[in-house]
Structure 1
């Protein structure tokens, strides 16, 4: 008799992170995958269903939809999306009505959704494996910088509940949890074309951030690399913190590598926060990401935490098909 499959539940299965995790677990026949999405009828959801993934409708703003979706899970992967309410026109209208910035409003939405996820996961904690909850998160900018960066909302929102809320309110769940900080997405330049990566009049390519040219930044190809990383973490004991990155290098080194690979002339220029804001069509977006680059330059993208485990640490204790290969790997 074939062994009963373990149930993996993936929040945001149609997104970048959830989709990558689903892809990796699909290749292991020991798992049955249940993917959560607001719209099971979307083309992406239907495509995943055709591969054998059980697609369930769930709303992160409604914990009552999450509890049955998580029930019986052996492993749950969680991700929240600050940028979804940040860019939505109805959310910006609501923020204006409340008299708060869309940055703060998106923070409040993400915190609420994270709390709902935590409560729903805690309701099925007994079914979880020893390391049964893996949460995608970031460092807490306000705390790490001792208040200097107190408006880096898309970092603090995640850290406030993963690990903050979980460890303060659900000790049993905390003992079964691992936290994975994701590096800077290699595709993030698409959020604001021309704002900080553009082709100059001379035909070369310029990257420009309010970040020291020598500051080390973790880089991640999220769609292909996060899934194998999460799969590897799931095989390890709980209670650890990780940094998912294919490589860690400065922006000047990044552009040198990009130049070598593409054959294009490139350069990196450190600019001020105000210059980045002026270069960005959506000024509040420019401020939010500008704060991130200043934070990376001064404290480090991970808040200066040197204890987070990385891919090389995993390889030392676990032999699995990890494929964290970025452009630096082909040099």
Structure 2
């Protein structure tokens, strides 16, 4: 019989779903998953696996407090892109006289604070390392003010850990923060920047990746669906109060393309481009989306995707502590991925 309860926010998403699958393997946990729409097919599939699905709205703290009560472990994740692509985002942003990027930042920031405020009310029931928050580095701070509009980073970092540490020291002592690397599957969102197909006069085909990141800048790569769950499970066995980088491989984009070309037996290279060049290569009419993404790639050069922060632990550090923490390497993921849609593009 389960002896502990884990709350998973966003259980139907990439990260929450991965965490659910890992904790389903541990019969000592009762899993309670939070979602805005319990009747969705994804939520119903999870319910069929024995997970308690609960309706909750991150915009309303009063829906969070009762479902958090008595929890032993809470996994938190917020989503900047949900409000950004919401049907009313542009209209609401226009009414407020701000960009849609800033509007989505405001929404995610408040959702994060609502989560923290609600979790703080059940801090006594939490395990020693009972609050694990998915986050990113604090771009505005870590860049010394050079990046002031990398909103999908700062809307997370300003709460996890900053707000929690300032407002709730008792909760901060039970919290671990997990930064996530570049999702390996993200090429599907902006394929025009990841893989540009070139055909020479002689008919020979090659591929070029064009980002604003410096060619030799190391960046973390994460198989989000396969690995976040195992990583969070391993972190839950570690002492509290630490920060982590979840990734299977850290390497430059130039190395990424060298490896990708080798695996697919095609010439492939990396070229650093300007901000405007990269924005124009992203296949979307939404310039604001392009600039949000491009700021992330530029930030990855200096100070670096992780903000060049101190004391970020990795899967290797967890393994050295005697805790199992398998991760998918970039090469392993590439070899399993079906690249036909990229290789056969017109």
Which residue matches 2:90?
Answer: 92
CA distance in 1, matches of 2:82, 2:195: 22
Query: For the Cα contact (< 8 Å) 1:225–1:324, is it kept in 2?
Result: yes
Which residue matches 1:276?
Answer: 278
Q: For residues 191-206 of structure 1, what are the structure 2 equivalents within 5 Å? A: 191-202=189-200, 203-206=205-208
CA distance in 2, matches of 1:121, 1:212: 40
Residue 312 in 1 paired to residue 316 in 2?
yes
Q: For residues 186-265 of structure 1, what are the structure 2 equivalents within 5 Å? A: 186-202=184-200, 203-265=205-267
The Cα of 1:98 is off from its aligned counterpart by 1.3
CA distance in 2, matches of 1:325, 1:40: 31
The Cα of 1:329 is off from its aligned counterpart by 4.9
Query: For the Cα contact (< 8 Å) 1:196–1:276, is it kept in 2?
Result: no
CA distance in 2, matches of 1:295, 1:55: 38
Residue 296 in 1 paired to residue 305 in 2?
no
Could you report, residue by residue, the CA deviation over 1:65-107 in whole angstroms, capped at 9, with x for unpaired residues?
0111111110000000001111123112111121100100000
The Cα of 1:129 is off from its aligned counterpart by 0.2
Could you report, residue by residue, the CA deviation over 1:38-89 in whole angstroms, capped at 9, with x for unpaired residues?
0000010001111111000000000000111111110000000001111123
In structure 2, list runs of 5 or more residues that go unmatched. Answer: 336-346
CA RMSD of aligned residues (A): 1.4
Could you report, residue by residue, the CA deviation over 1:4-49 in whole angstroms, capped at 9, with x for unpaired residues?
4210000000000000111100111111110000000001000111
The Cα of 1:305 is off from its aligned counterpart by 1.5
Residue 325 in 1 paired to residue 328 in 2?
yes
CA distance in 1, matches of 2:225, 2:216: 27
Q: Compared with structure 1, are the counterparts of its residues 327 and 302 closer, same or farther at alpha carbon in structure 2 (3 Å cutoff)?
A: closer
| Number of equivalences | 328
Query: For the Cα contact (< 8 Å) 1:139–1:301, is it kept in 2?
Result: yes
CA distance in 2, matches of 1:294, 1:120: 35
